[in-house]
């Protein structure tokens, strides 16, 4: 086979072009820090990287959801403990008011404190985070408690709306985490704490201590027991949320490490190869300058 000058020139130029392509590729790896950016670089690794990136986006969304749930649960924890203290104080006032020896000033003080505690319970029941009433059940956009002009407290949330729980899902795991006014402000007999307080206020104000019945005290005890159970429930949910958060953090870290091993460039190796390719390019240019025959344009210079 006869080797012609045009064939030699074409081969030299092709070799130089390939070296330039390798140098450009190494510069791209240095600037991006990645050895695989496109499927054409490595189809198998690129597919795995795309799948991992999708899973990381899901994890990030789960983590944002966990932050929201955590804020809610912390609000429940503070509210439930505060309600527990209030119920204990209502019991103390009820026992005190059942004593016939109370003076009028003492009764007035008890009535005033009961009214303040009632107002405070109303404000807790209508606790809101952002636009969500945390004790509002499935209709969290509306306050579950309303107060009439005569001071009568009404629960606007129906039992059906309260029965539909908020759920937090991670993969195939589901967690109920919310409480409603029926969990904390209503006795097992269906009577609200506000009705009990109104009765206590009326009896104390009218100096009718004999009407402070065991039923009222039993209702307060019932509410105290329910609150204690919900303290345990909220504590368990908080622990589960913390465990899920920790698990997602670990999984996210593992994904980062795996993705880094698959796609990150070895900078030392890239710099070494880049130096070699630059040396090869220089040698190829020098060799090509000797091989390629001068043209008339070269003589004109």
- CATH class label, 74-246: mainly alpha
Rounded Cα–Cα distance for residues 284 and 275 (Å):
14
Of 181, 163, 161, 166, give the one whose Cα is nearest residue 223: 181
What mean pLDDT is predicted for residues 39-58?
79
Rounded Cα–Cα distance for residues 200 and 276 (Å):
91
Q: Looking at per-residue confidence, does 219 or 171 come out higher?
A: 219
pLDDT at 133: 92
pLDDT at 32: 67
**Terminal Cα distance for the chain, rounded:** 35
Report whether pLDDT(91) > 80: yes
Report whether pLDDT(117) > 70: yes
How many CB atoms neighbour CB 171 within 10 A? Answer: 8
- Provide the mean pLDDT of the chain: 82
For 60-127, where are the E strands, in sequence order?
A: none
What mean pLDDT is predicted for residues 205-215?
73
Of 265, 262, 270, give the one whose Cα is nearest residue 45: 262
Beta bridge partners of 154: 146
Per-residue pLDDT band at 122 (split at 50, 70, 90) = very high
Which residues are CB-contacts of 285 (< 8 A; sequence separation ≥ 6)?
16
Q: Which two tokens stand for residue 142?
A: 């509306």
Dihedral (CA of 227, 232, 238, 240) sign: negative
What mean pLDDT is predicted for residues 93-111?
82
Per-residue pLDDT band at 114 (split at 50, 70, 90) = very high
pLDDT at 182: 92
Q: Looking at per-residue confidence, does 287 or 146 come out higher?
A: 146
Give domain limits for the chain: 74-246
Kindly report, residue by residue over 142-182, the tens digit of the pLDDT: 899 999 888 899 999 888 888 878 888 876 778 888 899 99
Kindly report, residue by residue over 227-236, the tens digit of the pLDDT: 999 999 999 9
**Of 11-20, 81-90, 127-136, which gets the smallest average pLDDT?**
11-20
What mean pLDDT is predicted for residues 237-259?
86
**Of 5-14, 128-137, 152-161, 186-195, which gets the smallest average pLDDT?**
5-14
Instruction: Encode 210-220: b = buried (16+ Cβ within 10 Å), e = exposed.
Output: eebeeebbebb
DSSP SS3 for 176? strand
pTM, 2 dp: 0.71
Per-residue pLDDT band at 297 (split at 50, 70, 90) = very low
């Amino acid at each position: 086979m006869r080797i012609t000058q045009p064939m030699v020139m074409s081969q030299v130029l092709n070799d130089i072009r390939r070296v330039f392509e390798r140098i450009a590729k190494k510069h791209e790896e240095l600037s991006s820090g990645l050895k695989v950016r496109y499927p054409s670089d490595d189809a198998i690794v690129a597919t795995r990287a795309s799948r991992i990136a999708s899973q990381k986006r899901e994890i990030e969304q789960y983590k944002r959801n966990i932050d929201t749930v955590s804020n809610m649960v912390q609000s429940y924890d503070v509210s439930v403990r505060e309600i527990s203290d209030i119920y204990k104080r209502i019991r103390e006032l009820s026992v005190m008011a059942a004593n016939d020896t109370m003076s009028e000033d003492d009764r007035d003080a008890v009535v005033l404190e009961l009214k303040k505690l009632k107002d405070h319970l109303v404000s807790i029941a209508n606790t809101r985070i952002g636009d969500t009433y945390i004790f509002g059940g499935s209709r969290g956009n509306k306050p579950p408690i309303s107060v009439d002009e005569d001071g009568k407290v009404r629960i606007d949330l129906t039992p059906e709306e309260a029965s539909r729980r908020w759920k937090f899902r991670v993969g195939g795991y589901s967690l109920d985490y919310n409480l409603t006014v029926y969990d904390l402000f209503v006795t097992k007999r269906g009577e609200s704490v506000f009705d009990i307080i109104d009765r206590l206020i009326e009896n104390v104000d009218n100096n009718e201590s004999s009407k402070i019945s065991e039923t009222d005290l039993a209702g307060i005890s019932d509410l105290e027991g329910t609150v204690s159970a919900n303290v345990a429930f909220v504590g368990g949910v908080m622990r589960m949320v913390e465990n899920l958060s920790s698990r997602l953090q670990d999984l996210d870290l593992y994904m980062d490490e795996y993705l880094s091993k698959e796609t990150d460039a070895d900078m030392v190796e890239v710099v070494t190869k880049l130096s070699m390719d630059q040396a090869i390019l220089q040698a190829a240019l020098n060799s090509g300058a000797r091989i390629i025959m001068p043209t008339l344009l070269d003589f004109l210079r």
